[in-house]
């Protein structure tokens, strides 16, 4: 029962990872690629973490798994804003020329 649910969650996570990678390859510019990456991938990781979480026995590894996901979420959001802002200011500067 738990194994089945775990497999289901991990498979769903893999689908989101595949979608993120496909978007990374197919989307036309930096902003749409940011959109594909920072949402699909973090959701995929969340589902994988959830799938592993229900299999964990002790409390400490569970907390660590959640901590990893939270860290990736925060880092992903910050990195997304930084890259987008950098690209935006560069484009403005090139537009002035």
Partner 1 sequence: MSGFLLAAALFLLLTIAAGMVRVLRGPTDGDRMLAAQLFGTTGVAILLLLAEALAMPALIDVALVFALLAAVATVAFVRQRGEREADDD
What's the CA gap between 26 and 79, in Å, rounded?
21
13 belongs to the binding site for partner 1 (CB under 8 A): yes
Among candidates 22, 7, 16, 18, which has minimal Cα distance to 44?
16
Please list the alpha-helical segments (H only) found in the chain. Answer: 2-26, 30-35, 42-53, 59-96
24 belongs to the binding site for partner 1 (CB under 8 A): yes
8 belongs to the binding site for partner 1 (CB under 8 A): no
Site of interaction with partner 1 (CB under 8 A): 3, 6-7, 10-11, 13-14, 17-18, 20-21, 24-25, 30, 33-34, 37, 41-42, 44-45, 48-49, 52, 55, 61, 64-65, 67-68, 71-72, 74-76, 78-79, 82-83, 85-87, 90
């Amino acid at each position: 029962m738990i194994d089945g649910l775990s497999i289901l969650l991990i498979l769903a996570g893999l689908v989101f990872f595949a979608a993120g990678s496909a978007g990374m390859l197919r989307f036309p510019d930096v902003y749409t690629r940011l959109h594909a990456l920072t949402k699909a991938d973090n959701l995929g990781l969340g589902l994988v973490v959830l799938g592993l979480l229900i299999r964990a026995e002790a409390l400490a590894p569970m907390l660590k798994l959640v901590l990893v996901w939270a860290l990736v979420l925060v880092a992903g959001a910050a990195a997304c804003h930084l890259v987008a802002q950098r690209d935006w200011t560069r484009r403005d500067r090139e537009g002035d020329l």
